[in-house]
Structure 1
Amino acid sequence: MHKVFISGSMRIKNINQDVLARIDNIINSGFHVLVGDADGVDTSIQTYLLEKHANSVLVYCAGDQPRNNIGKWKTNNIATNHSKGTRAFFTAKDLKMAEDCDYGLMIWDTKSTGTLSNAIELLKRGKKSLVFINKEKKFLKVKTVNDLETLISYMSETALTKADKKISLMSSIESFKNEQSSLF
């Protein structure tokens, strides 16, 4: 059965109806949902899944205990040697979710480097993601480096600079381009 990694920005609390309709399709198709334990989108998605009585849900967390598990679903606790509470500590669970899923559904505020990193990680693994750009109220499929470049075009210059410093965004894009050009 297909597994969908749903994630998004911690700043987003209210999920758009178009995204909820996609989640309804995921539930109705019997797909497994992989969701994190953070505040923001993760808890909003968990709340919605509970309201919809979804039972094919697996909550991923770094360390021993999830920060949030609203539906008391099974958890996948990811061991990490990184210091508790650091970006690297929480990224460990995201990397595992990217590994375990078939597809991604991301809800993005055009600033969150965590959500952007998840889309990049899926792309590295040859997996597609559908990113809902919250400000624009539109979906964008990310399955190529060109799609990724279109996605980051929605970022402000300040957000783009911060993302490049935090997650080496531009070198990731160059790496994808070099990989593609070496194929030909």
Structure 2
Amino acid sequence: MAMILIGGSCNIVDLPDALAGRIASIVAAEHGVLIGDAPGADTEVQALLVGHGYEHVGVFCAGDEPRNNLGDWAIYTVPPPQGAHGFAIQADKDREMVRRADYGLMIWNGTSPGTVLNVLRLALAEKPCVTYDVANGLVTTIRKVADWRTMLSRADPEIWDLLATRMTPDERLATTLA
């Protein structure tokens, strides 16, 4: 069973129509799903999985209890580092999901640094990621950092400043070598 990390931007509440078919294919193939507990895309995908009555799902959270677990699935808690604030609270959880995944499926609004950083992490781990870029109406498969940079070329240039504050030194270095 392949493990698929599914995630996306918190402000996406209307999923692309094609995504329902992609989720149905994942369910039909009985792949495992790793998903976060955030509002927005995570919760909307959880709702689709509940609609299928799907059980092979693990919900990852940084707190003691997930913010959202619509299917009452297994919970995997990844505590944040001591003193973490803001985005850093979720970063270790995201890295753990990438570590466990074989593939990614991301729904990106064109501005969310957290989602696009997870796409980068998957590329660095040589794990393909299908990315729904809802801002540009594109579906692409990111396999390497060069693909990731191409995807970002369509985004607002200010995203680089946001990413710089969230990347580890190794992630930052990898983006300059591609």
* Normalised TM-score (structure 1): 0.88
Q: CA shift at 1:147, angstroms?
A: 0.6
Per-residue Cα deviation, 1:68-115 (whole angstroms, up to 9, x for no partner): 111111111113323365311211111100000100000001111100
Structure 1 partner of 2:150:
150
Task: Give the aligned CA root-mean-square deviation in angstroms.
Answer: 1.7
Gaps (5+ residues) in structure 1? Answer: 178-184
Tell me the alpha carbon deviations over residues 7-62 of structure 1, each in whole angstroms, 9 at most, x when there is no partner.
Answer: 00001111111111111111111001110000110111111111111111110111
Matched residue count = 176
**What is the letter of the counterpart of residue 94 of structure 1?**
D
**Alignment partner of 1:129 is 2:141:** no
Matched residue, 1:88? 88
Q: Please give the per-residue CA displacement for 1:154-178, whole angstroms capped at 9, x wherever unaligned.
A: 1012333333344377644114x3x
The CA distance in 1 between the partners of 2:116 and 2:26, in whole Å, is 22
Letter in 2 for 1:132: Y
Letter in 2 for 1:103: Y
SS of 2:15's partner is coil
C-alpha distance in 2, partners of 1:109/1:65?
26
2:14 maps to 1:14 = yes
Tell me which amino acid in the other structure corresponds to 1:125.
Answer: A
Give the distance between the partners of 2:124 and 2:42, measured in 1 at CA: 23
Gap change, CA 1:47 and 1:83, over 3 Å in 2? farther
Higher-Rg member (1/2) = 1
Share of identical aligned residues, percent?
29
What SS does the corresponding residue of 1:161 show, helix, strand or coil? helix
Partner-residue secondary structure (3-state), 2:158: helix
Structure 2: gaps spanning 5 or more residues: none
TM-score by length of 2: 0.91
Q: What does residue range 23-172 of structure 1 map to in structure 2 within 5 Å? A: 23-83=23-83, 86-167=86-167, 171-172=173-174
User: Residues of 1 paired with 2:43 and 2:110: CA distance?
Assistant: 19
Matches of 2:163 and 2:78, distance apart in 1: 25
Contact kept, 8 Å, 1:105 with 1:129, in 2: the verdict is yes
Q: Deviations over 1:129-173 (max 9, x none)?
A: 111100222211111222111110110123333333443776441
Q: CA deviation at 1:63?
A: 2.8
In the alignment, the residues of structure 2 paired with residue 10 and residue 119 of structure 1 have an alpha-carbon distance, to the nearest angstrom, of: 15
